[in-house]
Amino acid sequence: MNASSLPIRIVVADDHEVVRTGFAALLDTQDDFTVVGTAADGTDAVRVCREQRPDIVLMDVRMPAMDGIEATRRIAGSAGEAPRILILTTFDLDEYVYDALRAGASGFLLKDVTAEHLFDAVRIVAAGEALLAPTVTRRLISEFARMRPSAQGKAGQPLGSLTARETEVLKLLAEGLSNPEIAARLVVTEETVKTHVSRILAKLGLRDRTQAVVAAYESGLVVPRSRTG
């Protein structure tokens, strides 16, 4: 999606200098990345994003003044082409995952990620792909199961504009399948799946696949399965 000639513009927001400068230095070693700013708290992050218009924000959750999830909500909700946000956490994801995704985050990264994973993650999210590891998807599902035990009732409501085929693609997407996997399942080419996905995103006004997954769960299109089922 992104033009390969232009580097991906990145902002790093973390209240710890070590993380901020460390990640910025790491990212700058890649030719296709450029770190355009850093922020020490949520308020700062919102301001830097407004000024720099980055493609990607690496956002810490625990920050003084304004936490990373609130900052994510403000940045993702800003006018125009909002940056995609990768949440950085030291801890396990359970407690943040739901709030962060609702706030508009596109993926999660642990702070102790290896440099190679970090680079991959940034490229994936910049391309609009979902960055949800199977474990994260599983957590997301159980979180929805806990929070919305009766989501079924509202099924189909906001997704009415999708064709039957697109709905099917969205369902598979929400189960955590990649494009090639969806293509194999539906016996179509990967190109066709990509077309479907971008139509789904356009019709529902979503930023990326992660948000499409959230929308699928929230609308009740996909009902979290209980472990016994």
Partner 1 sequence: MGRVNHRLGGLSLAVRRIASIPHAPAAATIVLAIIGAAQALAWAASNSTINRQPTGGELEVALMLLSLATTVPLGLLWTQPAIAAAVVTAACGLSLLVFHTLTVAGTAVALVLLYRLGRYGTPQLLAAGLATLFLPLALLGRASPGVHAYTVLLASLGQAMAWAGIALRARAEATEHSAARQVIAGSLLEHAARGERARISRELHDVVAHHISMIAVQAETARLTTPGLPTPGAQRFSSIGDTARTALTEMRRLLGVLREDTGDEPAQPRRPQPRLNQLNELIDEAREAADTTTRLIVRGPPVTLDPGVELAAFRIIQEALTNSRRHAPGAAVDVELHYTPRELRVSVRDNGPGPPVTPQQIGSQPLSHGLLGMRERAAAVGGSLRTGRDSSGGFIVEASLPAIEAALPTSPADDPEIYSGPAEAAG
- Contact residues for partner 1 (CB under 8 A)? 15-19, 21-23, 25-26, 28-29, 40, 61-64, 67-70, 90-92, 94-96, 110-112, 114-115, 118
Cβ distance to partner 1 smaller for residue 95 or 191: 95
d(CA 112, CA 115): 9
Least distance to partner 1, CB of residue 7, Å: 17
CB of 94 to partner 1, least distance (A): 8
Taking the C-alpha atoms of residue 204 and residue 162, their distance in angstroms, rounded to an integer, is 8
Strand order in the sheet with 84-89: 33-39, 8-13, 56-60, 84-89, 107-110
Please, what is the minimum distance in Å from the beta carbon of residue 17 to partner 1?
5
Q: At its nearest, how many Å lie between partner 1 and the CB of residue 172?
A: 30
* Residue 23 CB, nearest approach to partner 1 (Å): 7
Instruction: Give which of 180, 91, 54, 66 is closest to 129, Cα–Cα.
Output: 180
List of residues 6+ apart from 35 with CB closer than 8 A: 10, 11, 12, 24, 27, 28
Q: Which CB sits closer to partner 1, 7 or 22?
A: 22
Closest CB to partner 1 among residues 96, 217:
96
Whichever of 93 and 159 has its CB closer to partner 1, that residue is 93
Pairs from 163-166 (Cβ < 8 Å, separation ≥ 24) = 165/196, 166/196, 166/199, 166/200, 166/203
Pick 89 or 106: Cβ nearer partner 1: 89
